Amino acid sequence: MHITYVAIIASLLFSSPRWANEHQHHVMTPVDTTARIYQATGTIKQWNADSVTLSHRPIADLQWPAMTMAFRLPGASGEFKPLPTNTPVAFSFIQSDGSYTLTTITPQQK
């Protein structure tokens, strides 16, 4: 009988690390990998290391009027070559982490 108790206790002790690796006790929120991409046109007002301020036309998909606002550059901001102030552009962006991040920006002819 004593051996049975020892075996049960030993199996519980040695199996708990296995339970720790299973994340059933965490509330996991899936990441939205299908973020909607929005398209717009506007004019560059300022280019910084981590953001671009654009004066854009109305964006119907978001029911936004024309306005001036900053858009984040993605983590690898080296993807985008800085453009001069007042350059007209076509751009696309996604909503992420409560802000808006550029995915493309292309200069347009005036």
Output DSSP code: residue 23: G
Q: What are phi and psi of 24, to 5 degrees?
A: -70, -20
What pLDDT sits at residue 57? 97
Domain architecture of the chain: domains with CATH: 38-107 (2.40.50.320)
Q: What is the model's pTM? A: 0.67
Of residues 9, 8, 91, 110, the one with CA closest to residue 51 = 91
Which contiguous run of DSSP H or E holds residue 57?
A: none
Q: What CA–CA distance (Å, rounded) separates 105 from 96?
A: 17
pLDDT digits (tens, 9 = 90+) for 37-88: 999 999 999 999 999 999 999 999 999 999 999 999 987 656 789 999 999 9
